[in-house]
Homo-oligomer: A and B are copies of this chain.
Amino acid sequence: MTTATAPIVVTSELYAQVLHFYAHQMQHLDARRFEEYAASFTEDGVFQHSPGAEPAVSRDAIVRELVEFHKKYDPATVRRRHWFNHVALEAQADGTVKSTVYALVATIRPGAKPEINPSCLVHDTLVVEDGEILLKSRLITHDQVF
């Protein structure tokens, strides 16, 4: 069993696996399958979706946070798509993998072109356990200087 404290090497195989992990994870989020999104975190996973926000800790807290956050988007008319690009991985000494990713959020409303905003950086810490990837933590920073 590979634990979070064993050494880890970022192979091409792991890289493709991480890309695929993100694909399913973010499609869960945008489809409002919040339980499935939260299940991509470790049990004690930490998720801070905006720089100023209080981090949600644990899968239950992540679900609650997402339900609350999405109240401002009517599911009947508004769709959101979180796009990722340039997933850059770095093996850490503690056996985790640091992942830094570009993100753009597309919001699609009736009668308007998609709004592509904001541009963010995703700062993830991944663990690989028994061949399965989980998020230990996710912190989002905004590219825009306010």
Contact = CB atoms under 8 A, between A and B. Distances in A.
A134 to B, nearest CB: 17
A16 B10 CA distance: 11
Interface in A45-82: 76-79, 81
Copies of this protein, total: 3
Interface residues of A, number: 44
Interface string A69-107: 000000011110101111111000000000010101010
Among A15, A20, A27, A118, the one with the most B-chain Cβ atoms within 10 Å of its Cβ is: A20
A21 to B, nearest CB: 10
Given A12-B20, A13-B12, A88-B23, A83 B108 contact: no
Given A104-B114, A117-B113, A144-B108, A85 B83 contact: yes
Contact of A146 (B20, B81, B85, B110): B110
A139 interface: no
A114 B117 contact: yes
Interface of A: 10, 12-17, 19-20, 22-24, 26-27, 76-79, 81, 83-89, 100, 102, 104, 106, 108-110, 113-119, 143-146
Given A104-B106, A114-B116, 5 more contacts: A12-B17, A12-B20, A15-B19, A27-B100, A79-B143
